[in-house]
Amino acid sequence: MELHTPTCQCGEETEEARRARVAEIIDEFHAQPDNLIQILHLVQGIYGYLPLDVQQFIAERMDLPLSEIYGVSTFYSFFSTEPRGEYTIRVCMGTACYVRGSTKILKRLSEMLDVAVGSTTKDRKFTLEVMRCMGACGLAPAVSVNGEVIPQVNPDKLNRILEMCS
C-alpha cells in the first residue's frame, strides 16, 4: 500500500502573495457571510491551516467579528487552527472499532509518536486525530492515513504503518 501525501506549496509563496489570494477568494464570494465555510476551505488550502492572524484578516475583509470566524473554524473538524503534519493519522472510535480495541491503538500511537491526540509532532510529520466513525465497520478497528483506510489494525501493525510514511 502506498500513501499519497498532498503537496503543499505553502512555503514557496510570500505572505503578501498569500494574503492577496485570500482577498481574491473573499471578493469572488462577494464577502457574503453565507459563503464563510467555502471561503475558509479555500484559505486553509493556501495555508494548510487557519492561523489566527489570517482569521483576523478574513474578519476585517468580510466585516464580520473575529469571534464568528474563530467559532466556525474551531467548530468544524475539517478545519485546523494549528499547523498539520505531513501525514494525518485518524483512529476510528465508532462503536465497532471501539469494541475491537481502537482505544489501545490510539494510546499506542500517541506513545510511539510522543504526541497528544489532536496534536502534531514537533517535526510536523504526523498529526494524530480521532474520528467518530469512518464507515468501515466491517474492517474494524480501522485507521486512516491521509484519508486512506487501513483495515483490521492492531498495535503490532503500527510500526509498519508508520514506516510506510517514511
Give tens-digit pLDDT for 91-139.
999 999 999 999 999 999 999 999 999 899 999 999 999 998 999 999 9
Q: Is residue 3 part of a domain?
A: no
Q: Is residue 31 part of a domain?
A: yes
Q: What is the residue type of 87?
A: Y
Q: Structurally, how many domains does the chain consist of?
A: 2
Q: Are residues 94 and 68 in the same domain?
A: no
Average pLDDT along the chain: 91
Q: Are residues 63 and 91 in the same domain?
A: no
- Check pLDDT > 50 for residue 8: no
Task: Please tell me the pTM assigned to this model.
Answer: 0.70
Q: What is the mean pLDDT of residues 24-45?
A: 95
Confidence grade of residue 5 (pLDDT, cut at 50, 70, 90): very low
Q: What is the residue type of 10?
A: C
Rounded distance between C-alpha atoms, residue 13 and residue 9, angstroms: 7
Q: Are residues 71 and 91 in the same domain?
A: no
- Check pLDDT > 50 for residue 4: no
Print the domain residue range for 127: 87-164
Torsion of CA 30, 79, 99, 4, to 10 degrees: 100
